[in-house]
Structure 1
Amino acid sequence: MSNKVDTNFTTQVKAILNKLYGRSVLKDSLLEQAIEFYEQQTVQQHKLDKLSQRIKELSHQKDDADAKRQIEKLERNYRDLKQESKLESSDRYNYLYTVCKDILELTEGNNFAETIRKSAQVLGTIQLLCPTEGKRVPEANERNKPFYKAVLTLRLLDQLYIDQVIAVKDGHVKSVIGDITGEDYKLMQEKTPEIYAEFVEKVQIPVMMASLLQDIGHFHPDAQRIVRGEDGTQDPHRTLPVEERKQLLQINYRETIRFLIEGIGAPMYVGNSKADREKFNIAEHKKLVFIKHLLKNAIAPKQGIGNLLKVPQIYASIILSTKPSYNYKLLPKVYQALNKNAEKGACSQVVVDTLRTITGDFPQGFGVTFIPQDSDGRHGEHYEYAIVNQLYPNNPEHPKCRTATRGLTFIGRGQDIEIVDDISLYNTQTAKKFAALSKDRLNEILEKLASNYQERKKLDLLPRCWNAGEYFGMKNHQKLWVKSS
């Protein structure tokens, strides 16, 4: 496996991951910009307060020429500081906006079917880039989760509108696209491109921004003191006591909103038309209010539009979990946890069911093991590997996959296959039947599929699933979404 060069698509996905939650010496990712904003905020406010106080003190002597000059200078300094702050916010807004456009470039096709395919490719690529065992899992999942969640949120928005569920009832969404039907929504890009362009700017991008910013407040110093402990030595991914968890949620919401309003805000109008400026400012203010509305409603969404953020947030926190209890083999049980959340009233069951229609039980990029069948439908005496590569399965329990092996040999261009219960080793009954094979035969199969003896020792003789990360590390194995021959 010497060829570690990525396809262009994988390179683009990695670039966006770095732009969002990456860490580098340049400190220019969205996360690092937020951390810097939180650090500077206190200092900046202190300077402004000091200037205000001094202006107030001198205002009693404004008849004095010297005091008047000092006031003018202080007011100029105050305006300069505010302007500097506004320019920094504008830069952050433009950065976030550009990243959202980059995401749309990767996920949106020329029609609805192409958008679904490209979105599956992004979700699968992110999953396959994440380690599934070892110390790096929590850190990698924390970094990759916002992008993953934003894509899920876009696709959930689509399906909720197609089904005429929650999104339709939101005033902002309705003001942009009116009363179009679910079918017309699917064809909006082709039939009404001018409405689609408005929809992208006024709905999709704000929804993405809300999703990407949803947990940014966790990186405020007050939140980090809870997460890492007062002395900074605690494991940031440990399970917190209930009271600390409540505190963290409050801080996260407060500081996420602060970063949204003060750290990003609305973009500045460029141009000389007063009428256009006013129109621009009103439109941007509406978008900002919509983002805030989404974030606020995601805390306790009940049956409302807050579910658009909340349900993907819970889903992504399990699929890309940062907890020590993370277990790759249990990822297809994700909807058990989501259904429990819905039962407790933490989110809407309708929205959970809608997301399950899109993703199925098996996340994109998950490694599935199955028993091949011959042309007469007889089961073979060995198993093969496949990778989940399509959204919208016919049955949530039957993932649509691309085969990764044939005759126990890894291949670069497999076939698309639906893995139903009686050939899926994830299905307990099928696994029990297949377990009748001798240990020697199972060892023989494993020997062909595992790259070395050490790896073989760690693998189950009868694997319910497999970790496809190493396979995906080869460029010619990264084309799981290209039409199979």
Structure 2
Amino acid sequence: MANNAFNESSYIKTLKQIITAIHNNSTLEDSIYHQAINYFNTQEDASDQLHQRHQALNEALSKQEQAAKTTKNVETAIKQAKQALKKQQKIQSEARLQRLAQLKQVALNIIDLCYGDSLSDTNTRFAKCLGAQLLLVPTQRKQAVRYNHLSKHLYRAVLSLKLFDQLLAEGFIKNKFVLECYQHSLKQGSNQFKECIQIPLVMVSLLLDVGNFHPESITILKGPEGKLDELRALDNEERIALLKINYQQTINYLIEGLGADQYIGNSKAEKAEFDELEQQKIIFIKDLLLKAVNPQQGIGNVIKIPQVYTSIVMSSKLNFAYTTVPKAFLILDKGVEHGSHSQIAVNTLLKITGIYPQGFGITYIPKDDTGYDLPRYEYAIVNRLYPEDPHVPICRIVTRNLTFISSGDDTAVPATQNLYYPANRKKLEKISPQRLKEILSQLWSNFEQRQEEMELVPQCWQPHEYFSYAKHQNLWNKTVL
């Protein structure tokens, strides 16, 4: 590969800005996850302060009741207590609304990134958003795990949106509030569906594991002394305890730490309508969270299934291996067998993504003009959703004659050519090891340092380095299949 300086397209810069706004390691601590952490860390103190203001007011009112005649001192004490309580309530309300506004803005940015002017454009945008995130995963395992730990929230939210859209389009969403908002938006041309359904859905998906950042959760993850690796494998007792705390504190944060938005305006009728919709949104958020735990056939599948899928594709576990990424549906199918989530929803996601996630590196055997297998393999990257066959990914060709290119065609790679399948790798075993090393030396820029780390016939490849160049970051432009 050409030895040029790594750089980023404007799209990748935008994507990284969104990821950073969700969760980051910056000392500024300005992400929506940092806001949640701050809320958890100060929640008890804020509650105590509010309690003290209430108590002071109650004591002043009690003195008023006990006195035969209200004195000026008692009136002053009551007035001051009320002012102090109102001030404290305002401080906490403003902090809550600021957290909510920041989260809603991030959700809107995600929605704007994913939706286009047509269904075709929208599908391309979703493919690009999902694919770019996987392509940004570093090749070094520890770095990959740390990256996934911060970026998996966005991946999960985007996948939830797409699965929800498809289930709704096929008539599998039965939630009354969802259907009412959808019909209202179609008839009135309003943003009610985006405001009441899409934004809350993204909020829930983004913050699905925010309870893991509660102090009680951190004690489990890092140990009482804070010295353990939070990404380590937990024992069963720790895992169950963490699940309970995460569930309770995620609900706490979404309902109490964020809650309902505030109406701005002077119309009583508009305020009543606004407040009613806000309460329905809160009910919808609670419903998503409650049913995501054990969705079975319900709407919780739009949260749970992307959560499971993301935990494999963008794993934040220390045993993460890139070669296991296409096995997400094996885990989802087991969940269906155990009755924990819907076969229809899993099948719908499979219809959308296929077996191979967007951005996954495919190695395949090319054919000559007469249809015979050539004695080599080439590289491609999965770049399109909705493959006709889930086992036949639609890919962008990125090497031709063992040379990297930036303007390849899109093609469907048949299962009979895909080296992810052992039977196809056996086809190349008759080629001499020396020739296979020659092939690798042409595809790897640092072959001498890496020649011992992979098999001579790789079942897949990780395109992170290829994607690090801006000229290779437009894998989703229009080409003819």
Aligned residue runs from structure 1 range 79-90, under 5 A: 79-90=86-97
Q: Which residue of 303, 307, 324 corresponds with 1:309? A: 303
How far did residue 476 of structure 1 move? 0.3
Q: Which residue of 149, 156, 176 corresponds with 1:149? A: 156
Kindly indicate whether residue 23 of structure 2 is the aligned counterpart of residue 18 of structure 1. no
Aligned residue runs from structure 1 range 67-216, under 5 A: 67-165=74-172, 167=173, 169-178=174-183, 192=186, 194-195=188-189, 197-216=191-210
How far apart, in 1, do the equivalents of 2:31 and 2:60 lie?
42
Q: Secondary structure at the match of 2:107?
A: helix
| Structure 1 counterpart of 2:349 | 355
How far did residue 71 of structure 1 move? 2.5
| Structure 1 counterpart of 2:434 | 440
| Structure 2 counterpart of 1:185 | none
How far apart, in 2, do the equivalents of 1:134 and 1:355 lie?
27
Q: 2:60 touches 2:81 (CA, 8 Å); kept in 1?
A: no
How far apart, in 2, do the equivalents of 1:95 and 1:5 lie?
29
| Structure 1 counterpart of 2:289 | 295
**Structure 2 runs not aligned, ≥5 long:** 65-69
How far did residue 248 of structure 1 move? 1.1
| Structure 2 counterpart of 1:477 | 472
How far did residue 64 of structure 1 move? 4.1
| Structure 1 counterpart of 2:58 | 56
With over 3 angstroms needed to count, the CA separation of the structure-2 counterparts of 1:4 and 1:194, relative to structure 1, is farther
| Structure 1 counterpart of 2:361 | 367
Q: Which residue of 440, 449, 457 corresponds with 1:454? A: 449
Kindly indicate whether residue 234 of structure 2 is the aligned counterpart of residue 240 of structure 1. yes
What letter corresponds to residue 175 of structure 2 in structure 1? Answer: D
What letter corresponds to residue 124 of structure 2 in structure 1? Answer: R
How far did residue 132 of structure 1 move? 3.7
What letter corresponds to residue 122 of structure 1 in structure 2? Answer: C
How far did residue 430 of structure 1 move? 1.0
Q: Which residue of 199, 222, 238 corresponds with 2:216? A: 222
| Structure 2 counterpart of 1:183 | none
Kindly indicate whether residue 10 of structure 2 is the aligned counterpart of residue 8 of structure 1. yes
Q: Secondary structure at the match of 2:116?
A: coil
How far did residue 7 of structure 1 move? 1.0
What letter corresponds to residue 182 of structure 2 in structure 1? Answer: I
Q: Which residue of 314, 324, 331 corresponds with 2:318? A: 324
Q: Percent identity?
A: 38
| Structure 2 counterpart of 1:37 | 39
Taking only aligned residues, the RMSD between alpha carbons, in angstroms, comes to: 1.6
Q: 1:298 touches 1:309 (CA, 8 Å); kept in 2?
A: yes
How far did residue 484 of structure 1 move? 3.0
How far did residue 60 of structure 1 move? 2.6
How far did residue 456 of structure 1 move? 2.5
How far apart, in 1, do the equivalents of 2:426 and 2:362 lie?
16
With over 3 angstroms needed to count, the CA separation of the structure-2 counterparts of 1:343 and 1:196, relative to structure 1, is farther
How far apart, in 1, do the equivalents of 2:75 and 2:293 lie?
50
TM-score by length of 2: 0.95
How far apart, in 2, do the equivalents of 1:338 and 1:133 lie?
27
Q: 1:367 touches 1:467 (CA, 8 Å); kept in 2?
A: yes
Q: Secondary structure at the match of 1:77?
A: helix
Q: Secondary structure at the match of 1:458?
A: coil
| Structure 1 counterpart of 2:29 | 27
How far apart, in 2, do the equivalents of 1:193 and 1:375 lie?
53
What letter corresponds to residue 464 of structure 1 in structure 2? Answer: Q
Q: Secondary structure at the match of 1:417?
A: strand
How far apart, in 2, do the equivalents of 1:480 and 1:12 lie?
16
TM-score by length of 1: 0.94
CA shift digits 1:407-438 (9 cap, x unpaired): 11111111101111121111111111121111
Q: Secondary structure at the match of 1:422?
A: coil
Q: Secondary structure at the match of 2:33?
A: helix
Q: Which residue of 252, 256, 260 corresponds with 1:262? A: 256
| Structure 2 counterpart of 1:182 | none
How far did residue 283 of structure 1 move? 1.2
How far apart, in 1, do the equivalents of 2:411 and 2:54 lie?
68
